[in-house]
Structure 1
């Protein structure tokens, strides 16, 4: 099977390419916005395609391809410069994805696996009421709105063409080389910084990159994955306190946790303009991924502890 991976130089894209290259049934090609070959796994086939929008030329990238894994997207921007952020997200994520899907159909591609986000469903869940595939959609920022609109647009292309579309909605994905908030937390633990996170009794779902890559691989060939939307997680939810403790254990270091009450954390974060970040640390976001397990007979191959161990190998003494 000839597979095109978009967003191939990203965190998940690199892991997916490396995995698929070990499997003889797949012939893998990477699509990139530039010729940053040094960011790809060795011996990768690649095709530069330029920026992702309604005018991207996918002809060379799609030639002879049987399936596409679409990871490329405009993601969260720490210091947003766009005058209209929602339109900037739509230009790349919606218009660019529709262009890819339409050209894929014209090129004879049979299957498209689109990586969306659990943020399509919302930013948090009530305790013990996890998101599932039947949960209402409640995106709350430009990124998640554009992801939902992309899902809807791709479903329209699939209905009119017969393209076998699979949509995956992961939560925070962690693994070797991950950045953003997970990396900041890991650095703090590695430095021995005392963290006021010792009394947080929330529950959050995470996803090891190895588990996401394994599920994507399954969806490329499993007949039952066609025309499905699946939410996915590791299957073990952790409190923020437990996550810090597991991170410390994975690095063979002590966790320096201060038992600050949640109300104090939220108050301090509000004063510092970081209320949303504090809500992510203190709130619940749980996922019920039983549909993927039952429908595809899929089980995450990597436990949380093993996923953290692999992700944090560079932090250990």
Structure 2
């Protein structure tokens, strides 16, 4: 089965294409923009040029493919390219994430694509979506999701909802700050990090789910999630894997709420801290889900420690740790 992959030079896309390239069942065909950095793609992989904002540019790829995995999207703040950052306005995000997806689906149907797999995000899952959310990525992913669900499509389709994904090939260093904090501190306590919760999944688990979805019949929706862990648990796991003598003690919630919040507020008012005291008390939530959605995936999942270790080892291998 020849699989057209959009977003193939992104974090998940690179891991997916490398995996597909080593299997006998699937042959990847990568759709890239002319400005894309393709040097990290595996040697010998087929490439076609196309752009979701340019109708007609991806016809050749669809004509040659049996299935489509759609990963390409604009995520504000996650591009290191300054030109792309300038483009990350609401209109451009919608043009790519919603209009581009709709057009791609229509053309996939015209070219008799057998299976479409769309990668969304956990917060755009219809059972978890908050229609008051002020996040254009989540909003547009939900709208693209609804285009798929309510369309009369001739192909089988699956929608994938991963939580907070880490692992190898994070060339844009989107999640490196988690590991950098541990490497830079012997004692790691708030406000050196923001308290909260994380639901971490291995990028390989997402890739395995995408591969599984290629063989699914009908219409499907898959959550890829782990357990909800406190920020301190996550940092302690990183410290244990790194073995660099960083101590991450558990901090009682009362200390965060009563003792540290006023300090954070003063720092924020002086432009020295990214969030205010109230936001600090609330804490970050990265991919967290209700209990019934935890540890969900159609493929075997890796543990938090394995996930952290694989990510840490990769950052070490490229010389940033």
Question: Please, what TM-score do these two structures have when normalized by structure 2?
Answer: 0.80
The correspondence of residues 259-274 of structure 1 with structure 2, limited to 5 A, is: 259=251, 261-263=255-257, 264-265=260-261, 267=265, 270-271=268-269, 272=271, 274=274
For 1:241, the equivalent position in structure 2 comes to: 232
The correspondence of residues 179-198 of structure 1 with structure 2, limited to 5 A, is: 179-180=172-173, 182-192=175-185, 194-197=187-190
Q: Which stretch of structure 1 is more off in the superposition, 212-221 or 182-191?
A: 182-191
How many residues align structurally?
Answer: 297
Q: How far has the Cα of 1:10 moved from its partner? A: 0.8
Q: How far has the Cα of 1:39 moved from its partner? A: 2.1
Asked if 1:93 is matched to 2:84, the reply is no
For 1:125, the equivalent position in structure 2 comes to: none
Q: Which runs of 5+ in 1 are unaligned?
A: 122-132
String of CA shifts for 1:104-130, please: whole Å, max 9, x gaps: 111110111111112325xxxxxxxxx
**In the aligned structure 1, how far is the partner of 2:282 from the partner of 2:175?**
12
Q: How far has the Cα of 1:278 moved from its partner? A: 4.9
Question: Please, what TM-score do these two structures have when normalized by structure 1?
Answer: 0.81
**In the aligned structure 2, how far is the partner of 1:239 from the partner of 1:248?**
14
String of CA shifts for 1:227-264, please: whole Å, max 9, x gaps: 2233221x222110010011112222222336483332
For 1:286, the equivalent position in structure 2 comes to: 288
RMSD: 3.1
**In the aligned structure 2, how far is the partner of 1:204 from the partner of 1:20?**
29
For 1:43, the equivalent position in structure 2 comes to: 44
**In the aligned structure 2, how far is the partner of 1:149 from the partner of 1:269?**
38
**In the aligned structure 2, how far is the partner of 1:307 from the partner of 1:12?**
14
Q: How far has the Cα of 1:140 moved from its partner? A: 2.4
The correspondence of residues 101-120 of structure 1 with structure 2, limited to 5 A, is: 101-120=105-124
SS of 1:205's equivalent in the other structure is strand
The correspondence of residues 135-146 of structure 1 with structure 2, limited to 5 A, is: 135-138=128-131, 139-146=133-140
Asked if 1:252 is matched to 2:243, the reply is yes
Q: How far has the Cα of 1:287 moved from its partner? A: 2.8
Q: How far has the Cα of 1:288 moved from its partner? A: 5.7
SS of 1:166's equivalent in the other structure is strand
**In the aligned structure 2, how far is the partner of 1:13 from the partner of 1:279?**
35
Compared with structure 1, are the counterparts of its residues 211 and 269 closer, same or farther at alpha carbon in structure 2 (3 Å cutoff)? farther
**In the aligned structure 1, how far is the partner of 2:55 from the partner of 2:291?**
36
String of CA shifts for 1:157-178, please: whole Å, max 9, x gaps: xx32222221112122101132
SS of 1:173's equivalent in the other structure is strand
For 1:16, the equivalent position in structure 2 comes to: 16
Compared with structure 1, are the counterparts of its residues 39 and 310 closer, same or farther at alpha carbon in structure 2 (3 Å cutoff)? same
**In the aligned structure 2, how far is the partner of 1:176 from the partner of 1:94?**
28
**In the aligned structure 2, how far is the partner of 1:202 from the partner of 1:13?**
28
Compared with structure 1, are the counterparts of its residues 288 and 231 closer, same or farther at alpha carbon in structure 2 (3 Å cutoff)? farther
**In the aligned structure 2, how far is the partner of 1:113 from the partner of 1:290?**
24
String of CA shifts for 1:186-243, please: whole Å, max 9, x gaps: 11212335432499874431111010001111011022xx32233221x222110010
